[in-house]
Structure 1
């Protein structure tokens, strides 16, 4: 199993107690869908290592206290803090044509209704307030909010994300339209 065959589920953020439990941060929209997990993969030194789950206690804010098989001391748990958690892509529910998983649009071309092709999806950031598509446009990183009305659709066959950017969004990142501190009345000396 390689990372290309998997998606990132989250991270181990800390140990819990003295019997080897760890705390997962689940970087997903619906953490409750993962309460019945039987196994996961942990990235250790570049390899994906399978671990069976003995207990999974979902907490609030996308956190779960988890007991992994073979992890029975605090020292073993501490050694895994910061480790990435992966799941096989085949375990994902198939989505409708108007939906997409964030990992699957990486590398897709981004095309605006008015401006045409802007660039390629470099990454999708999941932050507390909203999710953002990151792409490079004219030498600047541009972040596009993934919200209805801005991100219109993702076409898997064409590998294209269609957007309708609000007026001025690109200029925020590229510096276009700035006056550079100059007065609009240049040439009008009033001495």
Structure 2
């Protein structure tokens, strides 16, 4: 199974290093020196990692054969893809690989259907489940212990306890209309007639 583990960002310095946006919880395993990664677009790779280091909180990689800034810039926005055994599991039982969570049903504690996980976004502060609801809309669920109470891979479901407003559509609509009115500068003025 192929999984995206990083996206190449800007060149760093003049010796071929690049910044990378890490998309794996195990960068030391997937992005270590000697790792050979497929790429998207495919014609850019495969790429072999020569060196890696952390600089100002960002991972910097250098690939074999890339020796200057222009070579590094040519790799910008390339996705790095690792081959992963689909049966491989993280060492920590509380951790999961993205492919284990994709397409799981998301339900409330009382069994009410919320939707299905279609994407997982990794942010610096936390991970997010992108959940497609039965009506086709999407909702973002923070993957944090306070909200995600249970992940049952056998039952193919995730049980959540969302705070008020997180998945309530009417709350989202009210917030959106308030935001738009705020942009007009006067929340009390009627809309559409141009008068104040």
Give TM class, smaller chain. 0.7 to 0.9
Q: What is the aligned counterpart of 2:81 among 58, 83, 86?
A: 86
Aligned residue number for residue 134 of structure 1 = 130
Q: Which residue of 1 aligns with 2:154?
A: 157
Instruction: State the distance in 1 between where 2:7 and 2:173 align.
Output: 41
CA contact (8 A) 1:153 1:161 kept: yes
1:143 is aligned to: 140
State the TM-score, normalized to the length of structure 2.
0.72
Count of residues in correspondence between the two structures: 174
Counterpart of 1:105 in structure 2 is 101
Structure 2: segments with no counterpart, 5+ residues: 179-196
Instruction: Give the CA deviation at 1:30.
Output: 5.8
Q: Please, which runs of 5 or more residues in structure 1 have no aligned partner?
A: 182-191
- Aligned partners of 2:172 and 2:69: how far apart in 1? 56
Match of 2:65 in 1: 70
Q: Secondary structure at the match of 2:46?
A: strand
3-state SS of paired residue (1:76): helix
Cα separation, 2, equivalents of 1:145 and 1:115: 19
Q: Which one has a larger percent strand, Structure 1 or Structure 2?
A: 1
Cα pair distance change 1:22/1:90, threshold 3 Å? same
Computed over aligned residues only, the root mean square deviation of the Cα atoms, in angstroms, reads: 3.1
Query: Mapping of 1:1-191 within 5 angstroms?
Result: 5-29=1-25, 31=27, 36-46=32-42, 49-61=45-57, 63-90=58-85, 94-137=90-133, 138-171=135-168, 174-175=169-170
Q: Give the TM-score, by structure 1 length.
A: 0.73
**Alpha-carbon displacement from aligned partner over 1:90-139 (angstroms, at most 9, x marks no partner):** 39653455432234211111111125222110112222333221112234
Cα pair 1:8 1:84 within 8 Å, conserved: yes
How many Å apart are 1:166 and its aligned residue?
2.7
